[in-house]
Amino acid sequence: MSRDELPALRGCAYLNAGTNGPVPRAAHEAMLEELELQAVRPRIGPDAFGRMLAVRNAARAAFAGALGVPAEQVALTSSTTQGMGLVLAGLAWRAGDEVVTTDAEHTGLLGPLDMLTRRFGVEVRIVPAGRVADAIRPTTRMVAISHVLWTDGRILPLDEIAGAAHAAGATVLVDGAQSAGNIPLDVVATGADYYAVPGQKWLLGPQGSGALWVRPELNDLLAPALAGYLSFRDAHVGELKDGAARFDAGTIDPVTLAGAAAACAWVEAQSGGRAAWLEQAAVNARRARERLAVIDGLRLLPGDSGLIAVELAGVDDPSPVVERLAARGVLVRTIPGTARIRLSVGAWTTDDDVEAFAAGLREG
C-alpha cells in the first residue's frame, strides 16, 4: 500500500480511525464522479433510476464482502446506530421484556435501548462486559452488545455469549462499530442474529454509510421500521422484498454509497486482499502495544484489537493532553468519563506514528 493513496495521512499521525478512518483516494474519486453525474445528467427516468440501483447494489455487495455474507442478507443504513435502531424499533416489545447489555456500551446502543424502556417498559439490565453469558436468564429476550468494546478494544466472545442467549430463547444484537475493518469478521460464525456496522470508521468510507446484517430466518419476525418505496417489490405496498433489502433505511445519497463501495473495493484490491490488510493491521497493533508498554508513566489497558486504550499516571482528565497532541498532528481521542486516551492502529499505521504519540507525551 502506498500511503499516498490515503491523502489524509499526510502531515499527521492518524490514530483515530475508531471515529473516522482516512478516506482512500479511490473513494474520493468515486464520490466526485457520482456527484458530477448527478449535476450533468437528468436525475429522472429509467437511466437515472437504474444507475441509482446499481450504486446501491455495489454498496450492498461491498459491505457483504466485509462481513463475510451474501449481499441479499445486508440492509443499507446511514450508521451503526441506525442499524441497531432498525432492529430495536422493528420488534414487538412488551412491558417486562429484558435486554442484557454491558457497562462498556456506546450511546449509539444505549440511546435506542433507553427508548425501549421509556416507550414499552422494557427492562435494560447492565452487567460487566466480562460477565454477559453468566447474566443471561430465562426472562432475557435479547442480548445487545458490542463485538469490540469502544472503550478499550477488548473483543467479546460472541460465540459463547450467543450460545447462552439462544439456549435461553433470546436473540443477539451486535454493535460492530469497532470490529468491521478492524478484525477478521465472519458474522455468521459469531452467532449474532443482527449485526450493525458503520462505513466511515475502519472501513474507510464516507460519513452517512453503514450496513445491517439480519439472520435470514429472522426476516419475517422483524418489521421494517422505515418501510417505504424501496422496501417493497416494485413499490407494491404489502409485498415486501425478499432478503434484508426490505430493511433498507430509505434513499441514501448515491454519492455516499459510491464512496463506501469504492473504499471497500480499494482494500480488497491491495496485495492479499482484506485478509492480508487485517493481518498487517494486527502486526501493527502488536508493535504499537510493545512500544506503548515501555513508556514511563503510561499504563496500557488489556485489549485484543487495533483499538488501544492507555492511561497516564496522575492524569484524571486527558482532554488537554489530547488537544496538545492534536496541535502536533497526533490525532487520538479521549473516552468521556474516564482517564483513557484511545489510539486506533490500522494497516496504514507506521512505527513513526506511534513514536510521534510517545514524543508528544514527552514534550507535552
Domain end point (choices 268, 291, 313): 268
Q: Which residues of the chain have pLDDT under 70?
A: 364
Nearest-angstrom CA–CA distance, 176 and 164: 20
Q: Give 251-305 pLDDT, tens digit per residue.
A: 999 999 999 999 999 999 999 999 999 999 999 999 999 999 999 999 999 999 9
User: Considering its fold, how many domains does the chain have in total?
Assistant: 2
Q: Please give the pLDDT value at position 364.
A: 62
* pTM tops 0.95: yes
- Residues 6 or more apart whose Cβ sits within 8 Å of residue 147: 155, 156, 158, 174, 175, 176, 178, 179, 183, 190, 195
Look at residue 322 in the predicted model and tell me its pLDDT. 98
Q: What DSSP line would sit under 116-128, residue for residue?
A: HHHHH--EEEEE-
Whether 259 and 356 share a structural domain: no
Please give the residue range of the domain that contains residue 104: 32-268
Q: Are residues 183 and 328 in the same domain?
A: no
Regarding whether 276 and 187 lie in a shared domain, the answer is: no
The per-residue pLDDT for 2 is: 83
Identify the three-state secondary structure at position 338.
coil
Same domain, 169 and 66: yes
Is residue 134 within 8 Å of 160, Cβ to Cβ? no
At 135, which CATH number? 3.40.640.10
Q: Supply the pLDDT for residue 1.
A: 75
Residues 95 and 156 in one domain: yes
Half-sphere exposure of 93 (CA within 13 A, CB side): 24
- Examine the fold and report which residue of 243, 268, 293 is the final residue of a domain before the chain moves on: 268
